[in-house]
Amino acid sequence: MAGVMPVMKSIIERFGPIGYLVTALDGSCSSRIAVIMPRETHNDFFSITTKSSSKFKEIKTNPNVLFLLYDAKTVSHVFCKATVDILEDSETRHALWCDSWREHGHNGPDDTNLVFLRYNFSAIIETPFMKPPIVHTFPLTPVDPVSVDVSVATPTPDLDRATALLREFLEKDSTVLMCTRDGETDLAARFMNLRHRFDVGLYGITKANSPKVRQLQKNPHACLHWYLPESGFKQLIAQATVHVDTQPELCRLLWRDEMRRFGFAGPEEVAVLRVAVSRLHMQPMAAPGVSYGLPAAPLPTRTTEPAPEEDGAKAAGKKHPRDDAAADCEESAGRN
């Protein structure tokens, strides 16, 4: 992995070590927060997890991952494509163990449930705001998948609680990480600004020629990931299907002139991503998570009269660093 260490160390110094780990999940994908750490004696990088975690099972089945780092102040991303080796031997646990991990529920270096995820990076793509991407590529050592039972616990059938959770996270932060599949093996992710209208449902806006439109038209399954570090490091992970709607009437209805600043020529370039959530998983810090199933429901039928719009952070009187401008400017850069 010669060459990876100086590149990643520089990126971690600028972006911090906390990022979004995107994994393959059947025909869809999943995401969760992870911390990436260097091991300079071996010239590699790793994260920690447990054998009981969903990401351990997903990576055992499909070792291809995407690690995303994001800086809200500069609206810059780093996409790290990698395969993952799982290290679960006693020697590695004792060599890498850090006592501060006990605060996150890990019991010590003798805990056989503790495992390490070692990243084999094939590409690191830095995408500064409105600038050409910087691409670093590295030789990749293949990792063979292993057959593992990736079934998940039956979700709690509590529609009221699930709806309340979704509304809570959307009001606190209307910007969410949307993860999609790009073909059979590749994963993709980007931040989207989501809104809700009673006549449209939950939706986001993108360019009709963006890569995610192509991806969702081939595979409509997506993962939405909220992370609220200021609210006890809570995460909400939603499995959803996304319908790409390019009907001119709808695109004109949702068009805003300020979108021209971010590369949209007009409503004819707009695609509306209408989201139907089927499952939610709420993951607090160092505590068991809870999953909720939502019944399949048809997308709302639009009326001719404008409907009130609930706009996440704006409805709560807040403005997030990843605001509409930041979300839409990524569309004009053509990177998602």
Model confidence over 274-313: pLDDT tens digits?
999 999 999 887 677 888 888 765 566 554 444 445 444 3
Asked if residue 182 and residue 58 are part of one domain, the reply reads no
Q: In sequence order, what are the residues at sequence separation of 6 or more whose Cβ sits closer than 8 angstroms to the Cβ of residue 229?
A: none
Please report whether residue 154 resides in a domain: no
Total domain count, the chain: 2
Alpha carbon distance 59, 148 (integer Å): 9
N-to-C CA span, the chain: 27
Beta strand ranges found along the chain (DSSP E): 18-25, 28-35, 37-39, 44-50, 64-71, 76-87, 114-127, 134-137, 175-182, 186-193, 195-197, 201-207, 221-228, 234-245, 270-283, 290-293, 309-310
Residue type at 59? I
Asked if residue 192 and residue 83 are part of one domain, the reply reads no
- Name the residue among 112, 273, 54, 297 with its Cα closest to residue 178: 273
Encode pLDDT of 139-181 as tens digits.
865 555 544 444 445 556 577 888 888 899 999 999 999 999 9
Q: Specify the CATH number for the domain of residue 195.
A: 2.30.110.10
Please report whether residue 289 resides in a domain: yes
Helical (H) or strand (E) element with 303? none
Asked if residue 261 and residue 168 are part of one domain, the reply reads yes
Please report whether residue 147 resides in a domain: no
Residue with tokens 């600004």: 193
Please report whether residue 148 resides in a domain: no
- Name the residue among 129, 257, 264, 132 with its Cα closest to residue 208: 264
Q: What is the pLDDT of residue 299?
A: 62
Show the domain range for 304: 159-333
- Name the residue among 212, 190, 205 with its Cα closest to residue 255: 205
Residue 121 pairs in a beta bridge with 82
Can you read off the two tokens belonging to residue 277? 């959530």
Asked if residue 296 and residue 232 are part of one domain, the reply reads yes
Q: What is the pLDDT of residue 140?
A: 66
Please report whether residue 125 resides in a domain: yes
In tens digits, the chain (336 residues) has pLDDT values of 448 999 999 999 999 999 999 999 888 899 999 999 999 888 899 999 999 998 999 999 999 999 999 998 888 999 999 999 999 999 999 999 999 999 888 899 999 999 999 999 999 999 988 789 999 998 865 555 544 444 445 556 577 888 888 899 999 999 999 999 998 889 999 999 999 988 899 999 999 999 999 999 999 999 999 998 887 788 999 999 999 999 999 999 999 999 998 889 999 999 999 999 999 999 887 677 888 888 765 566 554 444 445 444 343 334 343 434 334 434 333 345
Q: What is the pLDDT of residue 306?
A: 46
Q: What is the pLDDT of residue 312?
A: 41
Asked if residue 106 and residue 182 are part of one domain, the reply reads no
Residue 19 pairs in a beta bridge with 34
Asked if residue 317 and residue 216 are part of one domain, the reply reads yes
Please report whether residue 167 resides in a domain: yes
Asked if residue 163 and residue 27 are part of one domain, the reply reads no
Alpha carbon distance 79, 81 (integer Å): 6
Indicate the pTM of the whole model: 0.81
Please report whether residue 146 resides in a domain: no
Q: In sequence order, what are the residues at sequence separation of 6 or more whose Cβ sits closer than 8 angstroms to the Cβ of residue 101?
A: 48
